[in-house]
Structure 1
């Protein structure tokens, strides 16, 4: 009798385990207690779990059946964000709660939940079919508390700042630039002389410019004569402080090159798709100055 009772309990435990871990309606996935339809690819053996208020750093990709919607590896940095309460059962935060640093996993959700609950859209995008599945792939890199995160961010910024200085000095040497920077850090180099006075606050400057990074990556250009020049009001916020300072040194008809370090440019956080601590190169042609009030 005891032997039969033990066998019954053992079978019940085994059935409960397999039922609780395998009753996902998506083949190849398991269903967790918090509603995540998941499958692990690698488990590191670490035991640390994220808590609300922690910061998580990870590689993340999510896609539909036939197209990738986002891949953090396309970014220039690791994706880091605060870990928070879930938006719906089985979402990204619930999936992360199952993981420890070094783990990698995939999970699946209904895309409707992502757009309507996480994205808080009023209706689904046109390219989403109601009930369509969205697939996530996650590699959790690290979990940090607030102090650890602030320390690592400071170290990262200091590293980027040193790298910017190193790249700038290398650019100066390789291009044999002998011009000294102004007190602000701006390098101003006149290519073609102009005539008349410099712009004053409120004047409208018609400009053509080309903006690139030190490595030559082009960010913007309207140098093509088929394009209209930009009308920039001198003294008002436009692009970067370094550009405006350089523009103030020009005259109508002049052309100059500006080297704008991040301290008077994109700053430590970056802007318009440009990373923080990035030096910019401007080539500027000032075609005309319209005097304010005339």
Structure 2
């Protein structure tokens, strides 16, 4: 499925053992890094193993607004690799921590969802909130293994080569349409009928997702299970949110989607980090 909210939220690892303390104190209780990241430690073990760049860190976490919990991991711990995405992000905050530490970090809402989670917009459940508060506890720290390092370096190579990879594909397949400003290629096959999809429309689609080499990693056609989603809701990949607005009911198209509009640095089954993707899409209907 292309719905990524649940998929990506599970990649980012969160804690439950702490009770939200954000509403209990003033902003003056928080310290600030040079990048502007606000933080407050509840438990700090300076003598314990520190978190370092590229470590695999297992955490528990809650996050929410100043007065509401939006996510709680319970007792579950999830591993993720420390490789900050932008200055002042949550991963930068975790690099301040040691094994056993617990802390609260204040993160800009739009930066978190758009830059870190790679959502096209802030989800409805967090809309209107300028800041999110993350209560986090470091449960385990694992040094990057040679195999994990090799995978990370391979991903970096794909990222650096992606622009040329897409350009080569476009040239080899005689694609003449120009990309959109975001870098997406929309190749119409069948125009369809009626009006184009608008934000807020519920749509039913069939699609096949594949890599540029033709490897199919998912097909709703093969499963006989079309998907339904609301355009503009932020529940889909950014490339989907953009391209679906170019389609009419009954229309078919091929989309070439750069990784920045797809899964980016995240991996999913059959898709490596920084992989541009191809989607062959049929818009079955706009659902009343």
Q: TM-score range by the shorter chain?
A: 0.3 to 0.5
Normalising to structure 2: TM-score of the pair?
A: 0.47
Which structure is richer in relative contact order (CA contacts within 8 A, separation 6 or more)?
Answer: 2
Which structure has the greater CA radius of gyration? Answer: 1
Normalising to structure 1: TM-score of the pair?
A: 0.46
